[in-house]
């Protein structure tokens, strides 16, 4: 049987979109996180394999998507070739919708990104935790340049997740998926605090991340403490010998010096 060759799982896709984050510091972190990656991970877990004519449509869509993304621009002709199999097999729109929205965000086309994102939210509204949708909606605010609004949304999401122990403890096959979403949202908050000029807010977010990960000298008693989750974060945001830990320490030094 033909297997789905798209990356499956939180770690694989995060690596594919975040590996060069360090080259542009927190702005690239924002761009990387201004995506539907969490929603995309969930979509991969609720959609199945394809057979018969749907399999050929899937192969065609996958090939067309790869060519469209490789162009790195909003190439209309290439996108039309992607739309054809999606129209023939509507279930593929669930499979590819978040991927398409992510690429539109990457090429700075938030209007089309929003259209495909909303379609994905509608199709999966009964399958996903609302926290994933909230994270994704905040991604669109970031892509639209509404950074203060996005920061308020991310802070609100953080507070709601912190009170939901059942969600934080939810797991996939490898890791606490609830804790992972909390960690990604915390990185987003730190990056947004930097963008809006809040040194105190950025420093607080980085300090919490260091404590949750077990990377600080203080012993954490927080329910957010999860070195396993943050080891995934460490591997995801890694560029050669430079890691997210190195970046955080560098940023903390800059913030302390300027205060």
Q: For residue range 5-45, list pLDDT tens digits in order.
A: 333 344 443 343 333 333 344 444 444 444 445 455 545 44
The residue-averaged pLDDT of 220-230 equals 83
Q: Are 187 and 33 spatial neighbours (Cβ–Cβ below 8 Å)?
A: yes
**pLDDT score recorded for residue 212:** 92
**pLDDT score recorded for residue 101:** 79
Q: Which residue has the higher pLDDT, 255 or 37?
A: 255
Mean pLDDT of the chain: 75
**pLDDT score recorded for residue 34:** 43
pTM of the prediction?
A: 0.71
**pLDDT score recorded for residue 116:** 79
**pLDDT score recorded for residue 9:** 44
> Can you tell me the distance from the alpha carbon of 238 to that of 258, in angstroms, rounded to the nearest whole number?
26
20, part of any domain: yes
**pLDDT score recorded for residue 11:** 41
242, part of any domain: yes
194, part of any domain: yes
Range of the domain at 42: 10-50+89-258
> Can you tell me the distance from the alpha carbon of 14 to that of 198, in angstroms, rounded to the nearest whole number?
27
107, part of any domain: yes
**pLDDT score recorded for residue 250:** 84
22, part of any domain: yes
**pLDDT score recorded for residue 138:** 85
Per-residue pLDDT tens over the stretch 129-160: 788 888 878 888 887 888 899 999 999 999 99
Range of lowest pLDDT (60-74, 108-122, 161-175, 212-226): 108-122
Domain count, the chain: 1
**pLDDT score recorded for residue 175:** 67
**pLDDT score recorded for residue 157:** 95
Q: Are 186 and 206 spatial neighbours (Cβ–Cβ below 8 Å)?
A: no
**pLDDT score recorded for residue 18:** 36
Q: What residues pair up with 35 in beta bridges, in sequence order?
A: none
**pLDDT score recorded for residue 92:** 78
243, part of any domain: yes
Specify the residue for token string 């995309």.
40
56, part of any domain: no
Asked if pLDDT for residue 200 goes beyond 50, the answer is yes
**pLDDT score recorded for residue 210:** 93
């Amino acid at each position: 049987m033909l297997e789905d060759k798209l990356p499956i799982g939180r770690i694989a896709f995060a690596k594919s979109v975040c590996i060069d984050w360090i080259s542009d510091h927190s702005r690239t972190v924002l761009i990387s996180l201004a995506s539907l990656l969490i929603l995309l991970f969930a979509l991969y877990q609720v959609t199945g394999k394809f057979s018969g004519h749907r399999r050929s449509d899937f192969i065609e869509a996958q090939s067309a998507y790869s060519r469209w993304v490789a162009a790195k621009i909003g190439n209309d002709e290439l996108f039309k070739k992607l739309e054809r199999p999606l129209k023939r097999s509507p279930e593929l729109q669930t499979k590819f919708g978040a991927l398409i929205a992510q690429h539109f965000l990457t090429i700075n086309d938030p209007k089309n990104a929003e259209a495909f994102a909303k379609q994905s939210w509608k199709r999966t509204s009964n399958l996903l935790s609302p926290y994933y949708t909230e994270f994704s909606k905040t991604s669109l605010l970031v892509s639209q340049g509404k950074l203060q609004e996005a920061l308020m949304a991310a802070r609100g999401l953080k507070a709601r997740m912190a009170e939901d122990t059942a969600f934080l403890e939810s797991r996939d096959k490898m890791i606490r998926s609830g804790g992972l979403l909390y960690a990604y949202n915390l990185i987003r908050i730190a990056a947004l605090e930097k963008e809006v000029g809040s040194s105190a807010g950025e420093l607080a977010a980085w300090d919490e991340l260091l404590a949750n990960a077990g990377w600080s000298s203080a012993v954490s008693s927080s329910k957010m403490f999860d070195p396993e989750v943050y080891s995934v974060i460490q591997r995801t945001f890694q560029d050669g010998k430079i890691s997210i830990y190195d970046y955080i320490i560098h940023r903390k030094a800059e913030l302390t010096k300027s205060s």
